Amino acid sequence: MLTSVQAQVMFGGSNAVATIDNGEIRLNSGEVIGYIDGNQVLNREHKVLGRVETGRVLDAAGNALGFVEDGRVMNNARNTIGYIESGRVLTMRRQIIGHCDTRRPEEGAVFFFFRF
């Protein structure tokens, strides 16, 4: 999906802290922290951490864990189980469990749901 395109990973606002280029998720410092392979998100050891979908949260096996709407992460029953704030995915107790890229909010947003 993003292996041959360049994209920016934003943590809120417009300050890009990482880029996705040729399948690599690279911090501005140059450090590679993960990979995009097709629609899979991989860590440095190439372990599958999740998938990239529009407005949906999926686990590594591709099972839908929930949805993202209006800054809320919801389970399949549409109960709020977390939040999106400043590019971070938070649990109800405000623990950071992932990051997201909301470059296309007009299309429902593309979320990279992963943790490193």
| pTM score over 0.75 | no
Instruction: Flag whether pLDDT at 46 surpasses 80.
Output: yes
Adjacent-strand bridge partners of 112 = 52
Task: Count other Cβ atoms within 10 Å, centred on residue 101.
Answer: 22
Instruction: Tell me whether residue 48 is in a domain.
Output: yes
When divided into structural domains, the chain yields a total of 1
CA 55 → CA 23, 32, 47, distances in Å? 21, 25, 23
Confidence at residue 3, expressed as pLDDT on a 0 to 100 scale: 32
Instruction: Tell me whether residue 2 is in a domain.
Output: no
Query: What digits encode the pLDDT tens for the residues 13-27?
Result: 334 556 666 777 777
Instruction: Tell me whether residue 1 is in a domain.
Output: no
CA 104 → CA 55, 61, 90, 100, 111, distances in Å? 10, 25, 20, 11, 9
Query: What digits encode the pLDDT tens for the residues 56-115?
Result: 666 556 666 667 677 777 777 778 877 777 666 777 787 776 666 555 444 444 444 444
82: domain range? 7-112
49 touches 111 (CB < 8 A): no
